Structure formats: C-alpha cells, structure tokens
Amino acid sequence: MRIEEQQETPLFTALKKYVEDRTISFHVPGHKGGKGIPEFREFVGENILAIDVTAGLLGLDNVCNPLGVIKRAEELAADAFGADHAHFLVNGTTSGIQAMILSVAGPGDEIIIPRNAHRSVVGGLILSGARPVYIKPVIDDYMGIAMGITPESVRRALVEHPNAKAVFVINPTYYGVASNLKEIVEIAHSFDKPVIVDEAHGAHFGFHPQLPLSAMEAGADMSAASVHKLVGSMTQSSILLVKGNLVDDKKVKAAMNLTQTTSPSYPLMASLDVARKQIALKGREMLDRTIKLCEEARRELNAVDGIYVMGREVEGTEGCHAYDPTKLAINVRELGLSGFEVERILRYEYHIQVELSDLYNVLAVGAIGDSEESMSALVEAIKEIAQKYARKNVIKIAASLPENQELVVSPRFAFYSEKKVVHLEDSEGEISAEMLMAYPPGIPIICPGERITREVIEYAKALKAEGCHLQGTEDPEANFIKVLADRESVEMEYYRHAEQVG
C-alpha cells in the first residue's frame, strides 16, 4: 500500500470544490442543495445536501463508467484493500454479491454455496439462473447458529460437481466466524475455480494482525465488502474487489452495471473515499482500540452467571478457523430468556440497540465508533438483566436450527413457476416458491426451490412465538407461504434431471 497516496480523497475533494465554487444548479435532484426541503435541511445540515448531486456533472465523474475522480478513488481503494480493481457500490453489498454471481455463472450453471448464505445470494441465483450446490455449515448447537464451512466439504463438492463455475464463501459469518479461507482458495484454484466472497462483515479484515485474513489476503478472486458496517462509511455504501486472472474485471463491471443504480448517491461515495483514507492511515490504531474494548467487555460478561460470549476459544474447532473479536455474540439461554426478549429489554429499558437477536443470542457489533462509555453501558445493562430477569432452570425453547433442506428445483425455476398459497402450518412436503427468514441476519430458513419440512415449520413457529418478525413471504405475517402449484410434475422433472446428471 502506497501510504503517501492514501492521503488523497479525490472524489470528496472534488465535491467540496463544487460546493465552494457556489455553482448554480439547473440539474437534479430537485431540492437544489437543500433549498427545496428546508425542514429536512435544518435537521441534517446544509453540506450533506449540497454534495447530493447527480451523476455525470463536469469534474465529478460517473460511477457507471468512471474516468476521473471516481476512477482515482477506486484505484486508491484497490491499493488499500490489496486488490487489482475496486468498484464503489451504492446499492449495498447485495448488489455486489449479485454482480459477482452474474459474472461467473449463467443459466443452468452450478455454483458451490454455504447453505447459511445471505438472502442476496438467492437473488443472485434467480437473476443468473445458476443452480446452487449447497454445502452444509458446521452447526453450534449451544449457540444455535451456523458456523463456517470446512475445506474438506469444499473439496468434496468440487469432486462431485466438477462443472461448478465457482465457490462462494462467507468471511466471516454474521456472528464473526471465519472459515479457513486460504485453504479453501488453494483447493478451489487447484480445480481452476474462482472463489467469490461475501465479506459484508469483514471489510475491516486486512487492517489489523489480530483479525482473520481478508479475502484479498487469502487469495480470493472477488469479494463484496460492507465498508459501512465496520469501517465508517455511510449505510448502503460498499465496495467490490477483484484480484487475479480467473475473473474478468470487465465482465464484473458489466454485471455490476446491471444491478447498480444509474443515479448513485455522491454522499455515499464520498463517505467511501474518506473511510478508505481513514482505515488505510489509522486503521491499525483504531481497530486496536476497538478490539481491546470488545475483549474487556467479553471478559466481564463471561464472568456473569448465565451469560456466555463467544470468543477466540472457538478458533481451531471444526466450524471456526479464526474469530473476529469485534463481535460480541452474547448467549442468554441459561437465563431462561430468548435473545428476542433481551433485545427488547435492552432497547426499551436501557435505550441500547443491538445488531440482532435470535432464539438464544443477542449480537452487539463493536466498531471504530465505539467508546468506553458505550461499551460499559452495554456490559452493565446485561449484568442487570441477568440479575433482574433470569428464570433459572427454565428450558424455554426446544426448536433446533433446521438442517439438510432438499433442493428440488433451481431458485429461478421456482421464482417463475406457477404458484399457490398455503398455510405455513400445512406446507410440509411442498416446494417453496419464496424465502422465509429472520432479518437480520437474513439467512433463509427455506429458499425458493427447496422442500418444506416439519423442522422448518416448527422452527418458524418457535421464532414467531418469541416475537421474531419473519420476512421474505408476500404475507407480511408469514402465516401463509407460496409454493409450487404443480408439485408432481416438477418432481418428475427433478428426478429426470438427477438421472441425467448422475
């Protein structure tokens, strides 16, 4: 990384000059620097609206075909993150994940994917027409979460599916668990297959030695990283990184232009420019402080009766090669409380909002914006909850995370097939045409094209009973789900396809 060049912020500097020149606007957006929406401007400030301009203005470049300041900002980002190419994303990492899939796989192609992949992956499969070869992640029964995938499972999938176009890896999971990405990359490359990485929760990797390897450090071919989650840019701003010769960057850019808006937010892109500068120049120092805050909080919380916070002790186990210490996955099952209950108590009694909750855990995300005061407030709140609300020896929840869903047809086939609506309680054996998930974390309990099992139904019921608002179905209450209308003919086609492949 060329440190002296990382001082630059080409896009942000150009936007500031545009404002300082007192340019008279006869272009969109119609608020004209905030003058057209004074109530909003009074709250958010003038500068943010002053740099909210449209694409293609002289001197401000165009993200769809960058040739000037955006191109330079992306080159600096590629250098900082250790990539050959970097592309700014303003549709979030979702658009980057979908662009990665579109750039490596087409209709009918197979792609190897962990079953705990984010909902955006399913969207990419529908758009591309690719068929997933799902790898089962390791399950931690006590935490009730999916962990990482093993290199052995990747090798087995590549041997059994030699025509697969790519291997998709999550680095890390929402809960901070990283698979052995370097070994997975080596295995995939030995089969001449590219590795594409969902690095939504790992944009800070690569900037501190105590963190897991980043996708680029591990030799992956592409990664989509949510800079906004932990590196400090604004929500919805992410970056798509490309490295090596197994992926054509021009094809990636073409795919990206299918999923990205032609009216990008300049405030979002400017925040990427500044966040890149900051993490490149001060990342180690800032992350060192963040890690220390989180490790001290983890130590204090693990001393609380009934609380367990996952940490580096899981490194080296089958489901975890490395762990991100900035994640505080706080398990509360021994309190006799669900994670959903604890999230509500934290929010409404302590005015603390965690990242997510599930049946057994709440997840607090540590980041560069945290302080001793904010972390202390979380620790003290959890201590008080453990004292005030614990219901000892209560086995409150018996549902287990569903495993081994059967993929009958591709997500694209299911999406476009004729459908019918059935009550979720009566859907056992049907082939789902929708996703069903808790969001966050956005990992589908069932995906389009998969057979709905009794375990899926019972798990969904358990989530709802604890107050989780399920998403993905057209029915906002998730009492009903769309399934394929003609299941018998679909299954006959499935078995014919299986015989041909086998």
How many Cβ atoms are within 10 Å of 479's Cβ, its own excluded? Answer: 12
CB contact at 8 A, 406 and 451: yes
Total number of domains constituting the chain: 3
- Per residue in 248-260, pLDDT (tens digit) is 999 999 999 998 8
3-state secondary structure 441-497: CCCEEECCCEECCHHHHHHHHHHHHCCCCEECCCCCCCCEEEEECCHHHHHHHHHHH
Question: Would you place residue 467 in the very low, low, confident or very high pLDDT band (cuts 50, 70, 90)?
Answer: confident
Task: Please say which residue of 280, 306, 327 terminates a domain.
Answer: 280
186 plus 288 within the same structural domain: no
Q: Where are the alpha helices (DSSP H) in 201-265?
A: 215-218, 227-230, 249-259
- Per residue in 79-90, pLDDT (tens digit) is 999 999 999 999
CB contact burial 118-147 (16+ within 10 A = b; e otherwise): bbbbbbbbbbbbbbbbbbebbebeebbbbb
What's the CATH number where 304 sits? Answer: 3.90.1150.150
Does residue 29 belong to any structural domain of this protein?
Answer: no
| Cα–Cα distance for residue pair 13/66, rounded to 1 Å | 16
| 498: CB partners within 8 A, 6+ apart | none
273 plus 287 within the same structural domain: no
| Cα–Cα distance for residue pair 349/377, rounded to 1 Å | 12
Over range 16-32, report the average pLDDT: 92
Checking if the pLDDT of 134 tops 80, the result is yes
Over range 93-116, report the average pLDDT: 96
pLDDT at position 402, please?
Answer: 82
187 plus 231 within the same structural domain: yes
- Per residue in 29-51, pLDDT (tens digit) is 999 999 999 999 999 999 999 99
User: Tokens in use for 112?
Assistant: 């190897």
| 374: CB partners within 8 A, 6+ apart | none
Does residue 315 belong to any structural domain of this protein?
Answer: yes
What's the CATH number where 415 sits? Answer: 3.90.100.10
Does residue 56 belong to any structural domain of this protein?
Answer: no
User: Tokens in use for 444?
Assistant: 């589908």
pLDDT at position 398, please?
Answer: 59
Return the SS3 of 328.
strand
What's the CATH number where 156 sits? Answer: 3.40.640.10
174 plus 227 within the same structural domain: yes
Task: Please say which residue of 250, 280, 310 terminates a domain.
Answer: 280
The amino acid occupying position 390 is A
Task: Please say which residue of 220, 249, 280 terminates a domain.
Answer: 280
135 plus 276 within the same structural domain: yes
Domain that holds residue 209: 61-280
Over range 148-155, report the average pLDDT: 98
Lowest mean pLDDT among 25-34, 86-95, 146-155: 25-34
Does residue 44 belong to any structural domain of this protein?
Answer: no
222 plus 245 within the same structural domain: yes
Does residue 26 belong to any structural domain of this protein?
Answer: no
Does residue 293 belong to any structural domain of this protein?
Answer: yes
- Per residue in 300-335, pLDDT (tens digit) is 999 999 999 999 999 999 999 999 999 999 999 999
- Per residue in 176-207, pLDDT (tens digit) is 999 999 999 999 999 999 999 999 999 999 99
User: Tokens in use for 70?
Assistant: 């955006």
